[in-house]
Amino acid sequence: MPLGLSSFPVLSIITWSPFVGALLIMFLARRNALLVRWLAVASTAVSLILTLVIYVAYDREAAGFQFYEDVPLVAPLGINYQLGIDGMSLLMLLLTSIIIFAGAWASWTVKVRSQEFYALLLVLVTGVYGVFVSLDLFVLFLFYEIAVLPMYLLIGIWGSSGEVRPQGIFGWAFGRTGVGTKEYAAMKLTLYLLFGSAFILVGILALYVANDSSSFSFLEMELGQFDPRLQSWVFLAFYVGFGILAGIWPLHTWSPDGHASAPTAVSMLHAGVLMKLGAYGVVRLGMGLLPDATLQWSWLVGTIACINIVYGAFSAMAQTDLKYVIAYSSVSHMGVVMLGAATLTEVGLNGSVYQMFAHGIMTGLFFALVGLVYEKAHSREIFKMGGFARMMPGIATAFTIAGLSSLGLPATAGFVAELLTFLGAWQSSYSWWLIPAVGGAYLTAIYVLRVTKQIFWGPPSPDPHFQNLPDARGPEWAALWILVFVIVLFGVWPSLALAPVDTATMPLLNRLWVLQ
Amino acid sequence: MRSALGIEIGLAVLMLIVFLVGLVMPAGDKRRVGVLTAIGLVILLGISWRAEAGAEIFNGAFVQDELALFAKRLFIVATLIGVLASLPLRAVAFARRATEYYVAILASLLGMLVLGSARDLVLLFVAFELMSIPLYYLAGFLKREPEAVEAALKFFLVGTVSSAVLIYGLSFLYGIAGTTDIRGVATAMTTGHPMLLLGMLLALGGLGFKIAAFPFHMWVPDTYEAASTPFVAWLSVAPKAAGFIVIFRLYLEGMGDRVLFWVPAATGLAAVTIIGGNLMAIPQQNIKRLLAYSGVAHIGYMLVGFAAVSANGVAMMLFYLVAYLFGNMGAFLVVEAVAQAEGSEGIAAYRGLAQRSPILALSMLLFLLSLGGIPFVAGFWAKLYVFWAAAEQGLYWLVLLGAVLTVVALFYYLLVAKRMYIDAPDRRDPIPVAPLLSFCIFVCVLGVVLAGIYPRPLVIAALRAASPLF
C-alpha cells in the first residue's frame, strides 16, 4: 500500500481523534471557551487531513477494502474491532470530515454550556466515523448507537423552541408530560432512531445466528449464502431500521422536526451526515449481504423512494419556515439516494452514492446559512424577510449556489448525482420511476428559486428590524468557503468521487447480476 | 456437611451475634449494629468465594452447585449494598429499632441462601417463607407512616395468598410424583399426568407474585412507594433473584426432558410482562413508582432468557440479574440521596440536577442508560445476551417485541434524563450526600461500567453457573 500506511492505524486515528478532542475538552478546558473551540477545530482538522491523505493513498486499481485493521475484541463470540474502507466508505469519510470541520467553525457562536456542546458533538462524530469504517457488524452497531444518543441532549439543550408544532401521537404524549417543543423534537428523533436500531439489532443477531462461522465480520458474512427466506425478512428489518435514519416515507416525520429545532452544527451534521448513515446501512448491509432479498425488494425500495421525492418536494413547498423548507428538501433528496440504489444499475448506484455526498455538502451549507440568517435577522419566516442580498451579499451568494446545486444545475455536485440517478432509473426494470423523479427535480426548482428570490433577491422587506443586517464575518466565513468550494469542485470534476465509488459498487452489483 | 453448609452456618452465627450485640447496646447507639452487620457480610462474601461447588447433603435435598454459589454471592452483594445504604438512615424510629431491622434482613437473606440450594419441595417452600416473612415486616418498618402500614398489609396479603397458591401447586406435584425430590418430579413428568401440569401452573402463578411478573405485580408500586428507599433497593433485586433461582430449579430441573413443554407459557408471560411494565411506567410522576414498573418490565426481559430454555438462556438471565442489581439498586440509592435533600420523590425534584450535583446526575444517567440497555454500560450486554439466547431458539418475534419496547422504556428514562440535564434548576446549591451512600452509589457505578466495558469474566461465570441445570 502506498505511503507506508499499511502498518499505521489511520482509520482508528480518524475515528477516535474527535473523541480524544471531546475528552480533552471535558477535562482540560474548563471555563475557557476559546480553548474549547480551538480544541474542537484541531481534533476535527486531524481527521480531515488524514482523510485527505487516505483519499489520495487509496489504491483505485486494487479496489476492495483497504487500510485494514483487525483487533480481537471478544474473541469467543466472534466480535472483532475490524476496520477497513472501500470507495464508498472513503467518500462518506470525506463527507463527514468536511462537514464536521465546517460545523466546528459554524458553532463558534454557541455560548451556553459550550464545553458540553462541543464534547457531545465530537462524540457523535466519532460514532459516525465508526459506522462508516466498521467491518464488524457488532462494532458497527455500537458506533451507530454512539452516533444517535448525543443528539438527544444536543437538541434538547441547545435547540430552538417555538418553531415546532407537536402533532400526532407524539404530540398527544407530550401534551400530557408537559415538556417543551425542542424536547419534543429531541425525544421524537431519539425514539424513532432507537426504534430503528432495535430492528437493526434483531437483523444483525439473526445473521449472526444463521452464519455458520459465528462471526460478526462483514467480510465473512459476505462470503456465505443465507437462506432466501431469512434474507427476505432481515432485509426488511434493515430497511426499516436504517431507513428511519435515511428519512424514508412514512418514517421520516422525526426529521423535519428534529432538523428545525436543532442548533446549526447539529442540523448540518444530522442532515449532512447522519441521514447518510441510514442510506449507507441499507446499501452496505442490506444490499451487500442479502443479494436475493435485494432483488426481491428493489421494487418496494424504489417505489417508496419516488414517494419520498415527490412528497418531500410538495411538503417543502408548503412551508413558511426556512428551516422546515430545507428539512423537507432533505427528505426529497434522500429519496433520490434510495432510488439510485434501488435501480440496481451501475450508473444508478454510483449516482446514489454521489447524491449522498452532494446532498450532505449542500444541506450542510444550507443549514449553516439558515443559522447565519437566523442569528442576524432573528427570523426564519420566509415571507417576512426580503431583499437581504444588498446587506449580506456573501450569504446570499452562498445560498444561491447551494440552491442551484439542490435543483441540479450543471457544474454543481447536485447535477452529476441527479443525472446519474435518472439514467439509472431509465435503465432499470421500472423505468416509470423516472417520471416522479424528474417531477421532483422540477418541484425542487420551484421552491428553491422562490425561497431564494423572496429572501435575498426580491424587493426589500418593509420591516424595520431587517434594515441593517451584517454579512458573515470572521470564523463564519470558514464554513461557507469550504462547502461552496467542495460543491463546485465536485460539480466540475465528478471523477474525483466517481472513480473510488465505482470500485465499490461494481463488485456489489456483480454479485446481484450473477443471481439474475 | 460443614463445607456444604458453611455459608448458611456463618450467616446464622452472624445473626445471633448481631441480635445479642443489639440487646446490650444502649438505645441511642444502634448504628454500630449496622456496621457489625456489614462487616459480617463482607466476611460471609469471603467464605462464599472459598466454598467449593459439588457437595450434596440430606439425600440431595440441599445442593451446593455452581448455580447455588453464583446466586448466593449475588444475594450477599445485594444485601451488603442494602445494609451499607441503610446506615445513614436517620428516622427516629429507625435509630431505636435498628437491631430488628438488620436481624430481619439477615433472616431474609438466610432464606434466600437456603433457597439457592434447595432441590426439595418442602425445603424450597420453607426457605421461601423464611425469605418472605421478614420482608412483610420490613416493608412496614416505618410504622408511624400510614402509607407504610397500608403498603405492608397489601404486600403481606398478596404475599401470603401467593404462598398459598404456590404450596397448593407443590402439593399436586407431591401427590402425583410421590416424592418431594425435584428430580423425582422430573421422572414423574414423563407420565404426562395432567395434574402435574396443573401443579406446575399453580406454582408459576405463586412465583409470578414473588417475582412481580405481570399481571401479578399489583403490590409492587405501592410497596415500593411507601417503604424506606434503601430497603426497596434491596427488595427490588434480591428476592426477585431468589424467585428466579426457584423457577430454574422447578421448571428446568423439575421438568426433565419435557422442558420444552413449558415454552409457550414462559414466552407469553415474558411478552405480557414486558408490555405491561413498560406501558404502565410511562405516566408515573413519582420516581419510585416509575422504577417499580420499570422493574416489572425487567422481569419480563429476564423471562425472555428463561423462555429460550437453554443453558445460554439461563446464563444470560444470571448476567442480567447482576446488571439489574447494580443498575436498579444504584438508581434507588440516587433516589434516596435526592429525597433526603429535597424531601421529594417526584420526578420534578430532579430539575437541573446536572448543574447542581454533576456527579450524582451522571451516576443516575449511567444507571438509567444501563436499565435502558445502551452500549458501554452493563444493561446493554444484559439485554443483548437474553435476546441472543432467544434468537438462538428462533424466538425472533419475542426479540423484536422486547427490542421495540426497550424504546418505550427509553422514553421514560429519557424524561428523567431531561429533567436532570435540560431543565434549569430551581436552586443552585449542590445536594449533600452521606459518605456511605455515595460510596454505595460509587460501587454501583463501578459495577455498571465495568460489566459494560468488560463483560467477559461475568459471562463466563454465568455460563459456568448455568451448566448444572442442563
CA gap B15, A427 in Å, rounded: 82
Q: A277, A271, A249: which is closest to A368 by C-alpha? A: A271
Average pLDDT (B359-379) is 87
Cβ contact B237:B329 at 8 Å: yes
Q: In whole angstroms, how far apart are CA A442 and each of A314, A418, A449, A486?
A: 11, 12, 11, 24
pLDDT at A167: 65
Q: Identify the closest residue of chain A to B414 by CA–CA distance.
A: A187
pLDDT at A7 (0 to 100): 66
- For B181, the 3-state DSSP assignment is strand
Map residue B21 onto helix, strand or coil: helix
CB nearest to B404's CB, from A157, A198, A209: A198
Residue A336 C-alpha cell reads as 433520490
In chain A, the residue whose alpha carbon lies closest to the alpha carbon of B396 is A202
Q: Grid coordinates standing for B78?
A: 445485594
Task: State the average pLDDT over residues B163-167.
Answer: 91
Cell numbers 466517481 correspond to A498
10 Å CB burial of residue B90 (0-12, 13-18, 19+) is exposed
Closest CA to A336 of A413, A234, A450: A413
Interstrand relation of B55-57 and A79-85 (parallel, antiparallel or unpaired): unpaired
Contact, A455 vs A373, CB < 8 A? yes
Distance CA B177, CA B182 (A): 9
Chain B residue numbers touching A216 (CB-CB < 8 A)? none
3-state secondary structure of A469: coil
Residue A70, strand partner residues: A82
Name, in order, each residue with C-beta under 8 angstroms of A32's C-beta and a sequence gap of 6 or more. none
Give me the amino acid identity at A198: A
Kindly indicate the confidence band of residue B251, based on its pLDDT and cuts at 50, 70 and 90.
confident
DSSP state of B143: T
Cβ contact A179–B406 (<8 Å): no
**Chain A residues with CB-CB distance to B348 below 8 A:** none
State how far the Cα of B42 lies from the Cα of A490, in Å rounded to an integer.
Answer: 67
Helices (H) and strands (E) in chain A, counts: 22, 2
Of B375, B406, B421, the CB nearest to A142: B375
Cα four-point dihedral sign A6, A9, A14, A15: positive
Q: Are A74 and B456 in contact (CB under 8 A)?
A: yes
Q: pLDDT (tens digit, 9 = 90+) per residue, B180-220?
A: 888 888 888 778 788 888 888 888 888 888 888 878 788 88
Verify whether the Cβ–Cβ distance B414 to A187 is below 8 Å: yes
Mean pLDDT of B163-171: 90
Residues B241 and B325: beta-carbon distance below 8 Å: yes
Give per-residue burial for A43-54: e unless 16+ CB within 10 Å, then b. Answer: bbbbbbebbeeb
Q: How many CA atoms lie within 13 A of B244 on its CB side?
A: 33
Across the range B135-145, mean pLDDT stands at 81
What amino acid occupies position A220? E
Cα distance from N-terminal residue to C-terminal residue, chain A:
35
Q: How far is CA B412 from CA A262, B139, B373, in A?
A: 21, 26, 13
pLDDT tens sequence across B288-333 = 888 999 999 999 998 888 888 888 888 888 999 999 999 999 999 9
Nearest chain A CA: its distance from B244 CA (Å): 26
Taking CA atoms, what residue in B is nearest to A187? Answer: B411
Which of B282, B403, B410 lies nearest to residue A201, judging by beta carbons? B403
Beta strand A66-74 with A79-85: parallel, antiparallel or unpaired?
antiparallel
Burial classification of residue A4, based on how many CB atoms lie within 10 Å of its CB (0-12 exposed, 13-18 middle, 19 or more buried): exposed
| pLDDT tens, N- to C-terminus, chain A (516 residues) | 444 455 678 888 888 888 888 888 888 766 777 788 888 888 889 889 988 888 888 877 777 788 888 887 777 777 888 888 888 888 899 999 988 888 888 777 777 777 888 888 898 999 999 999 998 888 898 888 888 888 888 887 887 765 556 666 666 665 554 445 777 788 888 888 888 888 888 888 888 888 777 788 888 887 778 888 888 888 988 999 898 888 888 888 888 888 878 888 888 888 888 888 889 999 888 888 888 888 888 889 999 999 999 998 998 888 888 888 888 888 898 998 999 888 888 888 899 998 999 898 888 888 888 888 888 777 778 888 877 878 888 888 888 888 888 887 888 888 888 888 989 888 888 888 888 888 888 888 888 888 888 888 878 877 777 777 777 777 778 888 888 888 888 888 888 888 888 888 888 888 887 776
State how far the Cα of B445 lies from the Cα of B451, in Å rounded to an integer: 10
**Interacting residues of A505 by C-beta distance below 8 A, sequence separation 6+:** A87, A88, A346, A349, A350, A353
Q: Which carries the bigger pLDDT value, residue A63 or residue B35?
A: B35
CA separation for the pair B256, B254 (Å, rounded): 6
Q: What is the pLDDT of residue A2?
A: 42
Q: Are A275 and A247 in contact (CB under 8 A)?
A: yes
Three-state DSSP class for A59?
A: coil
Cβ distance A179 to B415 less than 8 Å, yes or no, reads yes
Cα–Cα distance measured from residue B190 to residue B448, given in angstroms and rounded to the nearest whole number? 43
C-alpha cell at B406: 426497550
Residues of chain B contacting A187 with CB distance shorter than 8 Å = 411, 414-415, 418
The dihedral built from the CA positions of residue A86, A88, A90 and A96, taken in this order, carries a sign that is: negative
Q: Is the distance from CB of A218 to CB of A184 less than 8 angstroms?
A: no
Q: Report the alpha-carbon distance of residue A41 to residue A482 in Å, rounded.
A: 14
- B340 Cβ partners below 8 Å, 6+ apart? B433, B434
> Chain-centre distance of CA B391, in angstroms?
25
Directed axis angle between helix B98-117 and helix B121-139, to 10°?
Answer: 160
Q: Report the interhelical angle of B378-392 vs B396-421 (nearest 10°).
A: 170
- CA B61, B63, B68, B73 dihedral sign is positive
Residue whose entry in the numeric block shows the C-alpha cell 452489483: A509
B421: chain A residues, CB-CB within 8 Å: 153, 156-157
* Best residue in B366, B386, B418, B423 for a mutation probing chain A (most A CBs within 10 Å): B418
Residues of A in Cβ contact (< 8 Å) with B375: 141-142, 145-146
Identify the CA nearest to B463 among candidates B45, B112, B70, B115.
B70
Tell me the residues of A at the B interface, defined by beta carbons under 8 Å apart.
74, 76, 141-142, 145-146, 149, 152-153, 156-157, 173, 176-177, 179, 183, 187, 190-191, 194-195, 198-199, 201-202, 205-206, 209
Task: Give the pLDDT of residue A157.
Answer: 80
Q: How many CB atoms lie within 10 A of CB A374?
A: 16
Quick one: closest CA in B to A206, which residue?
Answer: B391
Backbone torsions φ then ψ of A73, nearest 5 degrees: -105, -60
Q: Nearest Cβ partner of B399 from A145, A177, A205?
A: A205
Cβ of B283 within 8 Å of Cβ of A201? The answer is no
- Do residue A187 and residue B407 have CB atoms under 8 angstroms apart? no
* Rounded CA separation A506/A350 (Å): 9
Q: Which chain B residue shows the shortest CA-CA distance from A174?
A: B415
Q: Quote the CA–CA distance of B413 and B333 in Å, as a whole number.
A: 16
Share in percent of chain B as helix, strand, coil (round to 5): 80, 0, 20
Of A157, A195, A205, the CB nearest to B422: A157
Rounded-to-10 torsion of CA A13, A14, A19, A23: 50
Q: Which of A75, A58, A71 is nearest to A16 (CA)?
A: A71
What ipTM was predicted for this assembly? 0.72
Closest-CA distance, A513 to chain B, in angstroms, reads: 31
| Distance in angstroms (rounded) separating the CA atoms of residues B399 and B294 | 18
Residue B180, all three cell numbers: 418431594
Inter-chain touch B396–A191, beta carbons under 8 Å: no
Dump the DSSP string for A101-168: HHHHHHTTT--TTHHHHHHHHHHHHHHHHHHHHB-BHHHHHHHHHHHHTHHHHHHHHHS--SS----H
Distance CA A377, CA A391 (A): 11
**Is the Cβ pair B403, A191 closer than 8 Å?**
no
Question: Measuring CA to CA, which residue among B309, B297, B320, B319 is closest to residue B401?
Answer: B297
Bridge partners of residue B303, in order along the sequence: none
Determine whether the interchain pair B391/A202 forms a contact, defined as Cβ–Cβ distance below 8 Å.
yes
CB pairs under 8 A between A and B: 67
Task: Give me the residue from A76, A183, A205 closest to B388, CB to CB.
Answer: A205
B407 and A195 within 8 Å at the Cβ level: the answer is yes
- Closest of A269, A270, A248 to residue A339, by C-alpha: A248
C-alpha cell at A167: 402533532
Give the mutation candidate from A201, A208, A236 for the B interface (greatest B CB count, under 10 A).
A201
pLDDT exceeds cutoff 90 at B108: yes
- Residue A3: the pLDDT is 43
Query: B62-64 and B55-57: which strand pairing?
Result: antiparallel
CB pair distance less than 8 Å for A198 and B403? yes
- The DSSP secondary-structure symbol of B91 reads -
Convert A319-349 to b/e letters by CB count within 10 Å (16 or more is b): bebbbbbbbbbbbbbbbbbbbbbbbbbbbbb
Contact between B418 and A190 using a beta-carbon 8 Å cutoff: no
Beta bridge partners of A83: A69, A134
| Residue contact B374–A145, C-beta within 8 A | yes
Q: What is the pLDDT of residue A178?
A: 47
Least Cα separation, residue A202 to chain B (angstroms): 6
| pLDDT for the residue B27 | 66
Is A198 close to B406, i.e. CB distance below 8 A?
yes
Q: Which amino acid is at B130?
A: L
